[in-house]
Structure 1
Amino acid sequence: MRIFQNSGISPSYRARLAGLVAGVRGFEPQKEVFLNDRYGAAHILLPMHAGSPEAFFTNGDDESLQRAWALENGLGEDASLADILLAQIEHHKTDIFYNLDPFRYDASFLRRLPGHVKRKIAWRAAPGRIDFSGYDLVVCNFQSMRRLWEEQGARTAHFFPAHDPELDAVAANRNRDIDVLFFGGYSRHHQRRRQILEAVASLSSRRRVVFHLDLSRYTPLAETPLGWFGPLRAVRRPRTIRSVSAPPVFGRAMYAELGRAKVVVNASIDMAGPDRGNMRCFETMGAGALLISDSGNYPAPMRDGETMVVYEQPQDALDRIEQQLDGGTWDEIGRAGNRAIREEYSKRRQFERFLELV
């Protein structure tokens, strides 16, 4: 079975990746640099990291990577990224096309696929209007999202991120110098998150608190006098949050920060609905830090008070953090979280589930 997995990179990660591949020539060497950095590793199937000859992985929106393949395989400089991705699928003689970027490569792209592609599967765990016609299956681990896709006419199934075994070495470190860590986006979609972060940041007078924020592009302007009034106020950080803010981190740099943290706070975005268990939860528990996250519907291995801790309101989050740090129970629950994720959501189990779906 020949599996082709297409993924993508966020605009914020591009600068880090460009630095990592600077001076690296060729498609395979650039791809290996990306895979080794572990960006989005929870979603990358086992054969892709294992280098299986029947597996092909790429980031279809990575211009440098895709142009390298095009140059090596005789495509002209005017070939679009969609044309390059299509040529890769044809060259690979793909049976199963697994796409993590259906917003970019939707039904219009699928209509161009060669006949040897027998199954087309998309992952999508965020809201948005996407044409899924042509996909045999749309998968994610959020029931509310699956219902949304089904209302749009898609067939769906439950699938899940996996524990990255590279995090086990991170989890082994228990000498941690950051008391409370957060990393994630900060934009107009994050007003509830803003309330939680503002409460948690108040701990900085007596705890080491670090927020690695991926800011809205409007935030720098919002934090000038021009941003005091009007719509920009929605992306302006309160002073308490700014005082503990640091640049965003990705890949192994993010793993390193997780290995320094006792507690990691998770705060779902406003549009997330009742479902919980985003990739941040998997990464935090996988790294052996204590996950403190907002209430909602979690998968079974994420159990309040046993493998992670749940809060209801911003002040409640504050109280839970203090309780865990004062009592030292963050360590015990953090270890339990690592065991639960490692056992229940291994790469092997993830791939076995994928094979069941195809």
Structure 2
Amino acid sequence: MRLFQNSGLYPSYLAHLNQLAAEASSFEERRRIFLDDRFGALHFLKPVLDQAPEAFFTNGDDETLQRYWAREQGLPGKPTLEVILLAQIEHHRTEVFYNLDPVRYPSAFVGKLPGCVRKTFCWRAAPSGNADLTAYGAVLGNFPSILESWRQRGCRAELFFPALDPLMDEYGHGERTIDVLFVGGYSRHHTARAKTLEQVARSADTRRIVYCLDASRLTKLSESAIGAWLPLQRHRRPDSIVKIAKPPVFGRQFYELIGSSKIVLNGAINMAGTDRGNMRCFEAMGCGALLVSDAGGYPDGMEPGLTIETYASPQAATEIVSRCLQDWPKSAEMAGRGRSRVREAYSKASQWKRFGDLAARV
């Protein structure tokens, strides 16, 4: 199978990548640095991570990366990123196209694919406005309610899961000096999550709590000296959050941070009803931390009271965190059990087999 996998970058990660790849001067070198950093690796299929010759990977929205390729291949003028991506697919003689960035490259893009492409898949586990993905052979995701919403819009939708990055096995075998870690977004759109984070942050005087937050521009402005004079109160974070907030972390740095943490705090953002199992769950358990997350329906291997702990309210989250830290040896056993369960259930080999089965029948 000649596989082409396309992904995309968060703006905050792009700044991080530009620092990592500051000395890179070619497509291959910048792509190698990106893949070695492991950002998003839970979504990357086994042939991509194995650097199999029949697999091709790119970030179609990384203009620096894509223009390296266009220049190296002698594409004339200044082609658009879409034109470059189509040229890469044709050059690779792709048979199966798997797109992790389908809102940017929706059905209209699929209609332009070269004739060598026989199967098309995309991953989408979030609401997507009016995006049209009906031209894809199947929309993949791990939230049943969101998959059903795609079916109602005329798409074929199939259950599919992230898979643990094999490199996660290298992390989390030393002392865990951080009591509670949260990494993610914090904004007025994350109402339930924000209340939980604020509640848990109040115990920072007696516990080592680390929040690495990807704050919006308005939030940063509102908390600046100038912002204090502007009508931006609703964008300001509570003092308990501001005191412990650190910049976001990514890739291997994130793995290292989880591996140094006893508990990873997680909370959904009300995009998938009661479905649970966002990326943070797999990342936390894969690096051996105890996942403490909000109540809901979790995938296999994530069982409340056995491999994870769940809370039903911000106050309950604080109580559970306190209890788990007070009896850490018992909690550490739960975390270890969870790590073993997700390692067995969500390996790269099983993910690739599931993808191959889908490609055979879709």
TM-score bucket of the superposed structures, by smaller chain: over 0.9
- Structure 1 pair 318/228, CA: closer, same or farther in 2 (3 Å)? farther
- The equivalent of 1:239 in structure 2 is 239
Distance 1:336 1:255, change over 3 A: same
Contact 2:5 2:57 in 1 (8 A): yes
Which residue in 2 is equivalent to 1:280?
280
Counterpart AA for 1:25 = S
Q: Which residue of 1 aligns with 2:204?
A: 204
Kindly report which structure 2 residues correspond to 1:15-26, keeping only aligned pairs within 5 A, or say none.
15-26=15-26
Aligned letter for 1:82? Answer: E
* Residue matched to 1:52: 52
Distance 2:268 2:277 in 1: 9
Q: TM-score, normalised by structure 1?
A: 0.97
Aligned equivalent of 2:299: 299
The residue aligned with 1:131 is: 132
Partner of 2:180: 180
Amino acid in the other structure paired with 2:31: K
> Does the CA contact (< 8 Å) of 1:176 and 1:259 recur in 2?
yes
Contact 1:227–1:236 (Cα < 8 Å) also in 2: no
CA contact (8 A) 1:186 1:235 kept: no
Cα separation, partners in 2 of 1:234 and 1:354, compared to 1, 3 Å = farther
Runs of 4+ in structure 1 over 4 Å off = 224-230
C-alpha distance in 1, partners of 2:220/2:21? 28
Cα distance, 1:226 vs structure 2? 5.0
Q: CA deviation at 1:233?
A: 3.6
- CA displacement at 1:227 relative to structure 2: 6.3
User: Structure 2 length as normaliser, TM-score?
Assistant: 0.96
Deviation digits for residues 180-213 of structure 1, max 9, x if unmatched?
0000011222111110000010110110000000
Query: Cα offset for 1:77?
Result: 4.0
Moved more, 180-189 or 288-297: 180-189
1:107 aligns with 2:69: no
Aligned to 2:324: 324
Alignment of 1:71-220 (within 5 A): 71-129=71-129, 130-173=131-174, 175-220=175-220
Cα distance in structure 2, aligned partners of 1:64 and 1:250: 19
TM-superposition CA deviations, 1:138-188 (whole Å, max 9, x none) = 010000110111111111000000011111111323x11100000001122
Instruction: Please show how residues 252-263 of structure 1 align to structure 2 within 5 Å.
Output: 252-263=252-263
Name the stretch that deviates more: 74-83 or 345-354.
74-83
1:210 counterpart letter in structure 2? V
Give 2:10's aligned residue: 10
State the secondary structure of the residue aligned to 1:157. strand
Q: Give the drift of 1:228.
A: 8.3
Separation of aligned partners in 2, 1:268 and 1:131: 25
Contact 2:7-2:100 at 8 Å conserved across structures: yes
**In 1, are the aligned partners of 2:7 and 2:58 still within 8 Å (CA)?**
yes
- Is 2:42–2:164's contact at 8 Å kept on the other side of the alignment? yes
Partner of 2:340: 339
CA-to-partner distance for each residue in 1:105-125, whole Å, 9 max, x for gaps?
011111111111111101000
Q: Secondary structure at the match of 1:171?
A: coil
Q: Does structure 1 residue 354 correspond to structure 2 residue 355?
A: yes
**Alignment partners' CA distance in 1, 2:160 and 2:228:** 42
Give the fraction of aligned pairs with identical amino acids, expressed as a percent: 50
1:155, 1:227 → 2: CA distance? Answer: 50
Does the C-alpha gap of structure 1 residues 209 and 84 become closer, same or farther in structure 2, counting only changes over 3 Å?
same
Contact 1:189 1:270 in 2 (8 A): no
| Greater shift in the superposed pair: 134-143 or 327-336 | 327-336
Is the 8 Å Cα contact of residues 307 and 336 (structure 1) preserved in structure 2? yes
Whole-Å Cα distance in 2 between the matches of residues 226 and 22 of structure 1?
Answer: 32
* Cα drift, residue 234 of structure 1: 3.6
Verify the 8 A CA contact 2:172 2:260 in the aligned structure 1.
no
What letter is aligned with 1:222? S
Deviations 1:47-72 (CA, angstroms, capped at 9, x unpaired) = 00101111000000001111111111
Once residues 47 and 105 of structure 1 are traced to their aligned partners in structure 2, the CA distance between those partners, rounded to angstroms, is 22
- Structure 1 residue runs of 5 or longer lacking an equivalent are none
The residue that corresponds to 1:223 in the other structure is 223
Cα distance change on mapping 1:233 and 1:148 into 2, 3 Å: farther
- 3-state SS, counterpart of residue 102 of structure 2: coil
Q: Distance in 1 between matches of 2:50 and 2:181?
A: 31
Residues 251-303 of structure 1: CA deviation (Å, up to 9, x unaligned):
11111111110001001113332110011000000000000000011012001
For the Cα contact (< 8 Å) 1:285–1:291, is it kept in 2?
A: yes
Tell me which moved more, 197-206 or 268-277. Answer: 268-277
User: 1:187 touches 1:234 (CA, 8 Å); kept in 2?
Assistant: no
Q: Distance in 1 between matches of 2:112 and 2:65?
A: 22
